[in-house]
Amino acid sequence: MTKQNLQPTYDANFASSQPMVSVESDEIDLRELFAVIWQGKWLIIAITAVFAIGAVIFAINQPNIYKSEALLAPADAEQGGGGLAALAGQFGGLASMAGINLGGGGGVDKTQMAIEVMKSRQFTSNFIQKHNILPDLMAAKKWNMGDNTISYDSELYNKADKTWLRIVDAPFKSEPSMQEAYKIFSKIITVNAAKETGMVTVSVEHISPVVAHQWVNWLVQDINKEMKDRDVAEATRSTTFLKSQIEQTNIADIRSILYKLIEEQAKTIMFAEVRDEYVFKTIDPALIPEEKSKPKRALICVLGTMLGGMLGVMLVLIRYFVRK
């Protein structure tokens, strides 16, 4: 009887005492943690202040970036589509031998192709060289609002002599290559197509709002001309091939088919020549932006201050635990 009474009393007391010790330990650790942070408050304040001042200086020294954009709609690419659609199912095989696309489906969408061409290295390189924008792309340092001029980094480019001064290791040269220029250009240009509406937005960011506006206009003009020239060249080659086939056959039915295909290629060339907005129609043209797009200086200051505060708290806690 004595053993049976003693055993449960011992277990209950032991079990009930365990959570009280745990709770008391947690409370002590939490108070200790706040006490450590409070003791190191001056170090935390100092680090936070340093980061805050650094963030303010960094934000002030960042140049304003302006963004200009244009809204485009895919142009009607059927090019007399009724005749092409009628010929597609009937003479598709023969047309494909001549390299002719009759629009029978299954091909690459012309709008999407134009977007990819605009993003390509070849188009970008030709664009930079054609408009001579390499200094504005690679060496621009500041935009002067008063006289609408651009100041260049003196260590990179001499505007008076139009010479490049930058010092780089081989295989790079003083004048940036088109591969280097493409990397920079691809970061400041954005071409997006909305899935719901099919509308295409082309935007450019630059320290000069005038330059950003001009480059957007040039991009729209050049991509329309590029796609037009490609289709005209393809139609011309196809016409030459079809004429050579007509000379080699005496079968009236085949000659009739070939003449119809030549007629469609003539329509393609005519359509391209009379239409400047060949691939994209401008719905909302680019404007010279009046307000900067970035940097977000207030956000930079807030994030810098928060980073300094968190770093200060971490250093105080690490120092305490290392000493302990």
* pLDDT for res 277: 86
Tell me the CA distances in angstroms from 124 to 77, 120, 131, one per residue in order.
24, 6, 11
- Where do the CATH 3.30.1890 domains begin and end in the chain? 66-294
Flag residues of the chain having pLDDT under 50: 1-10, 12, 14-28, 77-90, 92, 98, 103-106
Q: What is the pLDDT of residue 213?
A: 95
The CA distance from 37 to 103, in Å, is: 72
Please state, in angstroms and as integers, the Cα–Cα distance from residue 184 to each residue in 58, 166, 171, 211, following that order: 22, 16, 18, 15
**Would you report the helix, strand and coil content of the chain in percent, each value rounded to 5?**
60, 15, 25
Q: Which of 149, 279, 260 is closest to 219 using CA atoms?
A: 279
pLDDT at 96: 54
In sequence order, what are the residues at sequence separation of 6 or more whose Cβ sits closer than 8 angstroms to the Cβ of residue 33? 317
- In this structure, the number of other CB atoms found within 10 A of the CB of residue 194 comes to 10
Q: Does domain 66-294 have CATH number 1.10.10?
A: no
Q: Find out whether 69 and 203 touch, Cβ atoms under 8 Å.
A: yes
* 3-state DSSP assignment of residue 197: coil
Quickly count: other Cβ atoms within 10 Å of residue 289's Cβ.
19
Tell me the whole-structure pTM to 2 decimals. Answer: 0.74
pLDDT at res. 42:
92
Which tokens go with 50?
């340093």
What's residue 94's pLDDT?
52
Cα-Cα-Cα-Cα dihedral sign, residues 248, 251, 254, 258: positive
- In this prediction, residue 85 carries a pLDDT of 41
